[in-house]
Amino acid sequence: MFLETLAVFVLILPFSVSSAWGLRKDVQKFWHLSILTLGPVLDAWITWYFLTWLEIGFVATWGCTLAAGLISCIFLQPLLSPRRLVVFRLSWQQVKRRPRQAALMMAGLLVASSIITSSLVVGDSLDATLSKEVEAVYGETDLLIYQKDRRTGFSFDMDQNLTTSFGQSLLAAGLADDWSNGIDTSATLTREDGLALPAAGWYAYPGWKGVAVNQVVSDDLELDVGDQIEVSWYSYTDDGELLRKSENLTIDSVISMDGRGSMSGTKSPAIFTSLELSQQLQSKLWQVNMLRVSLVDDLVASETIPDIEELFDYIIDYETSGYEINQDENAISISSTTGLGRLDSNFMESWTENSTAILDGGTAMEVLQIPLTQIRQGAKIMSLPDDTIEEILVTDNGDWYVSGGAVSFQKERVGSSHGWEVPDGGLIHDVTLLNNSILVAHSDGLVEIPDDRDGDLIHHIEGEEIRVAAFLPQGLPDLPSTIFSMDYLKVDDTDWIAVKHLAGSEVHQYVNEEWVLSPVSGEWLFYAGEVLIGSPNGWVNSSGVNSPEGWSAMRNGLLSNNSTLYSFDGQITELSQFNDKCDERVFAHDGETICSTADGVLIDDGVLSPRLPMTVDIGGFGVMPQLLLATDGPLSPPQGDILISSRLSDLNQSDDVLINGLIPWAYGDTLPLLLEIEGNMSSLDAPGLDELESIIIGFVNLTDGETLASASEGERSILVISDGNFSAVESWLDEISGVESMNLKIIPAKENALASAQEGAGVLSAMFLVFGAFTIGAGILLVLTIVMMLADSRRADEAIIRAVGLKRSDMRALALMEGTITSSSAAVLGGAFGLFLAWVISLAFSSVFASAGADGISFSFSLDSMLIGMSYGFLIAILTLWLTAFWTSRLNIVQALRNLSPMRSRGIPWWLFLLLIVFIGGGLLSGLMIFTIDSSSSLRFAVWHIMASMLIIGIVPLFTYVLPHLKGWQIRNTGRNTMAAMGICLALWALLPDSIAPVDSGVQPDEISFAVLGMVQVFAGVMILSGIAPRVASWVVGRSFFTKKFGPVVKVSLAHPSASPMKTAVVMGMFSLTVFSVIVLAGYSVQFEEHSSGFVEDASGEFEILLSSSRQLPLE
C-alpha cells in the first residue's frame, strides 16, 4: 500500500501544488493552502482505496484515481477562494444560459469515452461468450493430466491404478477436492442408413452407465433412445500400426447440452459410455488416458503444478516411466519402451554424474540404434519387399521382386522403389505381368499394382482368396483341396495353368471351351517360342525335349550347373557365370544376371551390387527397419566412416556410400549423409558380432549416428552395463523417474482456455481501439474547433470580465471549470452511449456468425470497461480543454472590445521553447524506450515512428523559425514555412522503408504502428496544406482566368481561412482524420476479402470440395 500511496502523491501533488501556488494571495486563511494542496491527494487516495477494495482492474483504478484528483483540484478552489467562487458561478451560468453551446461541447467530448467504452465492451462480450463455452466444456475441471506418446502425439494409455494413486494423493495433500480418471478419444458415429458424424468426442468415466449421446448427435442424426448407432474409432497397435475398429451400440439416453453433454463443446457432438464398456471395446482393460482434477477453491491451477509434480515424482517408479531393465548373466541393459525408444540427453547426463557409484567397478557402453530408409552407391540398395525372394520379373521400366507376401518395383534397376504388402500377413499365390503393372493373386483378393509409385491400386476382387493372377470367366478345373502354388500363362489366346498340390503337380490347358489335362506335369510355365513346363528338377518343351538331367531349374526357363547360368528353349544356351553367393533359387537375366541370395538379391553387370529389403524380421522382436549401430566403445569407427556387415560386403569398398536415416526422412529431411567405407564388421574382435550380423548392417560414429537418427546430442537407445550393481541401477532409475521422464502433461486447461478467451477479447478490443483512435483524434480536433468558435463568440464578454478585474489565470480557470462540468457529464453519457454502440456491434457480429452456423456474441460488459471508458475519456477531454484554455486566455482587452483582429506578437514566444524542449525530450525518451522493448516485438515500429516524428517536430522549427528570428533575417511567413517544412519532413519519413527500423528481420508492423503512422501522415498533409496551400491558392486566383470568371469572390472566400491559419488547420485535420479512417476501414475490408478469396483459391486449386480430418480419425 505504501508504494501505491506514494504513486498517488506523485500523480496528483504537482497539480494541487501548482493550483495552491496560483491562489496563494487569494485565500483568506493560510491553512486553506494546505487543503488545496493535500485535499485532491486525499480524494484521489480514497478513490484508489475504494476501487481496490472493489477489486477493480489496474487500468480502471488509476484512471479513476487521476480523474478524481483533477476534479477535486478544480472544484476545491471555489470553496476556499472568493475569486474562484466568482469564476465558478460564471462558468455555471455559462452552462445554464447557453445549453446549446454546452450540448455541442459535450457532443464533441463524449467521442473519446464512447469509443473506448464500446471497444472494451465488445471485448467483454467476446470474453463472456468464450468463457461461457469454457465453463461448459470444463465445468469443475481445473487440471487435465495425461501421458503423451512422443511417437504418435496421442495421449498415451496409463494404468488405472496409477491414476487412482495420483488422484488419492492429491486429495490427501489438500490440493484437490475431486478427481476422475477415464478415457477421452474421438469416434465416428454412423446411422444405419450411412449418415454419419465424422468426428465426435467419446468420453467414458467411472459411475456412468450405458450409452448416451448429447442433443447435437440426436438432432444431427435424428436418433432417439433405443436406436442403434455404429461407433468407429482408430487405435495404434504395439507396432505403431493404425487400426480401425467399429461396434454397433444401442442408445440408452439423450442428454442435454448442459454439464456432461457439453464436454466436447456446446455445439459439438459427443457420445458417453461407461468406462468398463469403453475399455472392453478399445481393448484397454484397466487402462485410462485422462485424469481430470478439480482443485480446492483458493488455489490457482498454474501455481499448483510444481507442487503436483513434486508429489507425483514420489509415486512414479522406473517401470511406470517406461524404462526397461534386462539382465543376462553379468550384463544389464537399460532401454525405454515409450516414444521412439530413446534415452534422452537428461537421462544420459544423470548417468554420467552417477555412473561411478552405479558401475561399482564394472563397465558400460552407450548404444544408439539408427533405423535406415535408404543406402546408395550407384544404385538404391534397399529396394526389396523381403530377404527371401520367390520370383524376379524384368521389364523395360524396371524390375519386380516378388516374395511370399509382398512385391516391390525398382525403377530402371537403380532408381527409387515402391511396394505393396498383402494385408493381415496374407500370402501371394500368383503374379502376372501386364503393361506397366503387375497383377497379384493373394489371400484376400486380386489386385493390380502399377509400376508408377503415384499410380492408383486397382482392387479387382476383395475379401476372397484368389489363386490365379488372371481373369478366367470359365473358372478353374477340378483341383485338389490342398494347393501349394499355381502359375498362369496365356499363349495365343490359350490359357495354361500349372498346379502344385499335396499329391504332386499337374498342368491344364483350356482348349475348345474345356480344361484339358496335359500329359506333362510341372509347377512352372514359360514361353520361349513354345510353351515350357518346369519344376526344380528341370524343364520340358511341348515337343517332349527335356533339359539335362541333374541340372537345377529355376523360373523363367533358366537352368544352372557348375556356377553357370543357362537358358532352355529346347536347346541349351549358356548365359553367364554367377557369383558363389547366389543360392540358385531365383534368377533373372537380360544381359545382366540377377540372383537371389541369403540376404536378398545380387545384381552382376560386371560390378556386383547387392539389394536388401527395407526391413528385417528379427525373431522375438518382430519386423524392424534396417539398422546401423553407434557406440562409444572400440566398435565405433572415426567420424565420417562406416564399418559394414557381410550383407553389404559386395559394395565397392573404395567408393563412398550415401545413407538416409528413417526418422529424418519421415520428417522431410531427404539430404543423405556421405560416409566412407572403412572396412567390414568381421574385422572387429568382439564377442557376439556374428549374432549382430543378422540384425544390423554396420557401425558408425556416434556423431554421425545422431545425425542419421535425428537424435539430440547425448541421446541413446540402449545403455549396456557389465558387472554392475543391479540394485544400484534400480535405485538410480527410481530416483530419476518422475513427471518429466514419464512425459506426463499437467495442463491447467480451464485457466489456459479462459486466458486464451481473454487474450482473444483483448485482441478484438485492441483492433477496435486502434481504428477508433482515428475517430478519437477527429473528436479532439472537433473539440478544439468548438472551443475556438466559442472563444470567438465570447470575446467581448470575456474582455468585459477581464476589464472588471479578472486575471488570465481566472480565464483559464473559467474555461476549465466549464469544461470539467461538460466533460464529466460527457464522460458519463459517453460511457452509456459506448454500451449502446457495443450492443449494436455485438448484434452485427451475431448476425455474421449465425450466417456461418455459429453462435453469436452474447452482449456483456464489466464495470472495469465502463470506468476505463469514462475516466480516460474524461482525461483526454480535460487535457484538450487545458491546452485550449492556454490559447484562449491570451486575450487582448482592447482588441476584443473593439472587435479588432489580434496582432501577431514579434519575437519568439516562450511557449515555443517549451514545446521544442518537450518534443525533443519526448523523442529522445522514445528512442531510449526502444531498447527496453524486445527486438522481435512489432511495438518497436510504433515507438520508432513516434521518436522520429517528435524529433522532426522539435528540430525543424529551430532552423525555420527560431534561427531566422535570432539572426534577424527578413523572411516572410516563417510560421507557415515552419508548418510546411515539418509536414514535408514527416511525409518523407513516412515514405522510408520499414527495413531501417531496429527490429529483427521478418517482424512486420502491427495495427498500433499503422495507427501511429496513419496519424503522422494525416497531420503531415494538414501541415503541408496549411503552410503552402494559401499561397498557392492566392497565386492561382490571381491569374486572369479566375479574375475574369469569378471576380473578387475567390479572394474574399480565401481571406478568412488565410487570416485564421490555426482554425483552418484544425478543421482540415478533423475532416482529414474522419475521411482517412473511413477509407482505411473500407480498404481493410476489401483487402481482407481479397486475401481470404486468394487464400481459398490457393488452398483449393481446381477443387470444389475439400475433405480433411485429424490424426486420430484419418480419412479412409
C-alpha distances in Å from residue 82, one per residue of 87, 810, 1078: 9, 11, 49
Is there a domain that residue 1029 lies in?
no
Check whether residue 415 and residue 544 sit in a common domain: yes
Amino acid at residue number 295: L
Is residue 184 within 8 Å of residue 178, measured between CB atoms?
A: no
Q: What is the pLDDT of residue 1091?
A: 47
What is the distance between the alpha carbons of residues 878 and 819, in angstroms, rounded to a whole number?
Answer: 7
**Domain boundary, last residue among 673, 707, 737:** 737
Sign of CA dihedral 119, 124, 129, 131: positive
Q: Which helix (H) or strand (E) holds 921?
A: helix 910-930
Q: Which residues of the chain have pLDDT under 70?
A: 108, 112, 150-154, 236-241, 619-621, 686-688, 760-806, 845, 847-857, 886-907, 971, 1007, 1025-1027, 1029-1116
Total domains present in the chain: 3
What is the distance between the alpha carbons of residues 911 and 1013, in angstroms, rounded to a whole number?
Answer: 27
What is the distance between the alpha carbons of residues 1084 and 1079, in angstroms, rounded to a whole number?
Answer: 8
The backbone torsions φ and ψ at residue 500, rounded to the nearest 5 degrees and listed phi first, read -110, 125
What is the distance between the alpha carbons of residues 893 and 798, in angstroms, rounded to a whole number?
Answer: 8
- Residue 280 CB: number of other CB atoms within 10 A? 13
Is there a domain that residue 243 lies in?
yes
DSSP 8-class letter at 343:
B
Q: What is the pLDDT of residue 776?
A: 65
Is residue 122 within 8 Å of residue 115, measured between CB atoms?
A: no
**Domain boundary, last residue among 690, 716, 737:** 737
Is there a domain that residue 444 lies in?
yes
Check whether residue 243 and residue 329 sit in a common domain: no
What is the distance between the alpha carbons of residues 329 and 325, in angstroms, rounded to a whole number?
Answer: 13
Please report how the helices 345-359 and 726-736 are oriented relative to each other, as an axis angle in degrees rounded to 10. 150
CATH of the domain at 472: 2.130.10.10
Check whether residue 366 and residue 401 sit in a common domain: no
Check whether residue 411 and residue 459 sit in a common domain: yes
Q: What is the pLDDT of residue 724?
A: 80
Is there a domain that residue 527 lies in?
yes
User: What's the order of all strands across the beta sheet hosting 382-384?
Assistant: 382-384, 608-613, 601-604, 593-596, 587-589
Which three-class secondary structure state does DSSP give residue 405? coil
What is the distance between the alpha carbons of residues 371 and 247, in angstroms, rounded to a whole number?
Answer: 37
Helices within 661-701 (DSSP H only):
662-666, 689-693
- Give the range of the structural domain holding residue 450, as residue numbers without chain letter: 382-606
* Total residues belonging to the chain: 1116
Is there a domain that residue 33 lies in?
no
Is there a domain that residue 612 lies in?
no
How buried is residue 3: exposed, middle or buried, by Cβ count under 10 Å (0-12/13-18/19+)? exposed
Cβ contacts of 865 within 8 Å, gap of 6 or more: 60, 117, 120, 121, 123, 124
Check whether residue 372 and residue 517 sit in a common domain: no
Cβ contacts of 853 within 8 Å, gap of 6 or more: none
Check whether residue 397 and residue 529 sit in a common domain: yes
Is residue 227 within 8 Å of residue 293, measured between CB atoms?
A: no
Is there a domain that residue 1036 lies in?
no
Check whether residue 426 and residue 561 sit in a common domain: yes
Check whether residue 244 and residue 281 sit in a common domain: yes
Cβ contacts of 195 within 8 Å, gap of 6 or more: 221
Check whether residue 162 and residue 260 sit in a common domain: yes
Check whether residue 250 and residue 346 sit in a common domain: no
**Domain boundary, last residue among 681, 710, 737:** 737
CB contact burial 341-350 (16+ within 10 A = b; e otherwise):
ebbbeebbeb
Check whether residue 482 and residue 529 sit in a common domain: yes
For the chain, count helices (H), then strands (E).
28, 48
Check whether residue 211 and residue 174 sit in a common domain: yes
Is there a domain that residue 899 lies in?
no
Determine the straight-line distance between the first and last CA of the chain, rounded to whole angstroms: 64
